[in-house]
Structure formats: C-alpha cells, structure tokens
Amino acid sequence: MAIFTNRRKENVEGNFYVDSTCIDCETCMILAPEVFKEDGDASSVYNQPSDEQNKIRALQALVACPTHSIGLVENLPETKQVRESFPILIEDSVYYNGYHSEKSFGAASYFIKRENGNILVDSPRYAAGLAEKIKSLGGVKYIFLTHKDDIADQDKYAEYFGAKRIFHEEDFNRHLPSAEIPIQGQEIFRIDEDVKIIPVPGHTKGHTVLLYRDKFLFTGDHLAYSPVKQHLHAFRNACWYSWEKQIESMKRLAEFNFEWVLPGHGRRYNADYPTMRESIGKCIEWMGKK
C-alpha cells in the first residue's frame, strides 16, 4: 500500500500520487500516460485525471502497479469495480491480466481463451480475485512462460488451476527447475494448430515467444515497440545472454506473420502484416548498429 508521507515530491497536488517505492517499471505510464510520467528514475503524477476515462485508467494503473506505489489521498468508490475488471480484453479472446508482480520486474502477462484449453502467458502476481475471474472464463490449461525473468507466481496459478507449465529447459533455475511440458532445442513447438512456440535465444538462452493464430505474438522481453524510435526494438541494456543470438532470433521471427506484439516490458504494437514486417526490418537494422 502506498504511503502518503513517502509521496514523491515530483507529484502534482491532488488525489493520486506515487510514493518512493516505485521501481520505474513503466506500467502506469503505459496504462495512463495522461496522468503518469517518468520523472528522474521513477514515476510521478504530472496531471491529475481530468475526466472519468482518465480516472479509470489511473485506477487500472493503481491495481496493476507491482509495488503498490500508487496511492489515493481519498479512496474512490470505483476502485473495487476496476479491480474486478481484470483481465481486460485486448482483442478477440486475448486479455491483459494487470496485477504485475515485482518478482517479474513488473512485466505484463496475458490470458488466451481458446476452445482447446486456455493459456496464461507469463504470470501475474497472485490475486484471489483475478484467479476467480480467470476461473469464470474457463480456467487455465497451460501456463506458457517466455523466460526465467517473468515467472512471478506461476506456481500458485499452476496449483490453483492444475495447469501444465510450458518452459524452455535452458531457462530452468532454482525458482522453476522443471516443467510439466519442457521445451528443448530450437525447433518450433506446437500445442494444436493455432499455437506455435518459437525459441528466440538472446535476452536469455531459453527465451521463447508464443504465436497465436498467426495474429498475436507474445514476446516477453525479446521484442517491444519503441515510441521514441517509432519502430519495434529490443532491450540492448537488458540482454543477458547474447545480442548476436538475439539478432539471429529476430531474423527468424521476421519470417512469421502477426498483427500484434504483446510484450512483457515496453509498449504493445498493432499493425497489418506489411507494416509489422517493415517495423521488424527496421528493428533488425537498428540492432545491427548497436
């Protein structure tokens, strides 16, 4: 829970504030950019919400914040309804979970509702209300984990839903030393026709991405959109295994069709196939210069 006396001095006066526990994960700036912005090495409120929509987005950020660093001087009655609004539909049957976890460095996670078994993509922090809501959507058959950094409370969700975890063995670690469905090597792994899991070593050795219906690409920490560069990009300063391998992986990914990039960290991107292809081409070119 945010503490008012630890409120950052950069916040403007008003009901919403960010306290000093912020880890600068960007989640609030992505969800409510009209309210939160980076100031120094943390977020602060630079505009109080000016209308109902702004207020709801700011409350979504409050619920999603991995460190509970966003506070209210006076409680708002809408908070309960916003809490219960997660997971939030993105498009078709793909949802954004909110409830980011500090254990995943604040990474986003997603939920796919599908006929042959729902999939949790990376793990949100465990919240009973979110688990209940996901249960009402049919529960979880598989938990797909892109890589070892974004596994958060996967163990609790696996137990709650009796779900099978899908995870590349190169990223097994002390927090997750095995998985019900281990992935090995560099071959594409399929769960049914509509789900492809593609190994993309680079950020970590065992990083994989999931392509659903040749439309939604869940990219973990491999790929995200940069509003500054105006094209897709990768995190050069957070590449833990091999930048050269990550470039090779990016070239492999460029051979697939998709319309959505849904990352763990950074911005989502939605575009038609040709525009997406052009953007990933710019990303590869940019990566080669770094």
CA dihedral of 262, 125, 113, 62, whole degrees rounded to 10: -70
Cβ nearer to ligand SF4, comparing 87 with 201: 87
Query: Any contact of residue 120 with ligand SF4 (CB under 6 A)?
Result: no
Q: Based on the number of CB atoms within 10 Å of its own CB, is 68 exposed (0-12), middle (13-18) or buried (19 or more)? A: middle
204 and 240 Cβ atoms separated by less than 8 Å: yes
Q: Are strands 70-72 and 231-233 parallel, antiparallel or unpaired?
A: unpaired
Residues 179-202: b if buried by 16+ CB within 10 A, e if exposed: beeebeeeeebebeeebbbbbbbb
Cβ nearer to ligand SF4, comparing 8 with 168: 8
Planar angle of CA 29, 35, 37, nearest 5 degrees: 45
Report in angstroms the alpha-carbon separations of 248 from 65, 220, 266, 283.
33, 17, 21, 12
Strand partners, 91: 94
Stretch that binds ligand SF4, among 19-27, 185-193, 244-252, 276-284 (CB under 6 A): 19-27
Query: Any contact of residue 262 with ligand SF4 (CB under 6 A)?
Result: no
Query: Any contact of residue 27 with ligand SF4 (CB under 6 A)?
Result: yes
Q: Which of 11, 69, 204, 249 binds ligand SF4 (CB under 6 A)?
A: 69
Shortest spacing between CB 268 and ligand SF4, in angstroms: 16
Stretch that binds ligand SF4, among 64-72, 73-81, 225-233, 241-249 (CB under 6 A): 64-72
Question: Looking only at residues 33 through 62 of this chain, which bind ligand SF4 when binding is defined by CB under 6 A?
Answer: 36, 43, 61
Closest CA to 219 of 172, 177, 276: 276
Question: Looking only at residues 74 through 93 of this chain, which bind ligand SF4 when binding is defined by CB under 6 A?
Answer: none
Q: Which of 45, 63, 65, 239 binds ligand SF4 (CB under 6 A)?
A: 65
Stretch that binds ligand SF4, among 24-32, 48-56, 71-79, 199-207 (CB under 6 A): 24-32
Which residue ranges make up the site for ligand SF4 (CB under 6 A)? 18, 22-28, 36, 43, 61, 65-67, 69-70, 106
